[in-house]
Amino acid sequence: MKKKVYLIRHAQSEANVALDLDNPTFYYDARLTDLGKEQTFKTRKKLVNVDFDLMITSPLTRTLQTFSLIFPQPIKNTVVLPLAREHLDHSCDVGRQPEILKREFPHFNLSSLKEFWWNNDKPIDEKVINQESIEDLDVRVEKFKKWIFHREEQTIAVVSHGTFISRIIGFHLNNCEYEVWESNS
């Protein structure tokens, strides 16, 4: 069964415009900029007529915001999937606890998120930037691909991150750009 997976990079975030991601200001779970919010409306127009049968988003705030603005009325089986999160490399890639995210994003089902979902569920000091190796990221990307392959849905939207998506398609998208990844399962 051929699948069309729309890999959508999140819109511009505070971290994308930072000169130095980790010093002197930390951008924990960065939010969208005003330009980023504008970018989502252009992408929404491009995708408005696509009939998705599955929608997926990373649990980081910039992707949840991007998803909410591109898809203001998501389909019922929208999945918040930690596998689709960004490569843990900077402060902006450190997530927030599910109960905090639930208060800000009550329309998402976050019940499957574990406490330290951004660190492969391993407890750590929440403000430590526990970097993930590229090899570990590639293992996670392969798990994500297998998860997609085992789904019945054929037209899928995934709101994710630059480095994560680049490990699938081989190049880096600009903010709020998308690429259709066609795969056979």
Task: Please report the pLDDT score of residue 120 as a whole number.
Answer: 76
Token output for 48: 């408005």
Query: How does pLDDT run across 40-89, given as a tens digit for each residue?
Result: 999 999 999 999 999 999 999 999 999 999 999 888 889 999 999 999 98
- The count of domains in the chain is 1
- In this structure, is the dihedral angle defined by the CA atoms of residues 83, 88, 92 and 98, taken in order, positive or negative? positive
Token output for 107: 């329309």
Task: Please report the pLDDT score of residue 23 as a whole number.
Answer: 58
Any idea what the CATH number is for the domain that residue 141 is in?
A: 3.40.50.1240
Is-contact 126 98, C-beta < 8 A? no
Which positions of the chain have pLDDT values less than 70? 1, 19-25, 126-128, 185
Task: Please report the pLDDT score of residue 35 as a whole number.
Answer: 97
Domain with 172, as residue range(s), is: 2-184
Is-contact 153 53, C-beta < 8 A? yes
Q: How far apart are the first and last CA of the chain?
A: 6
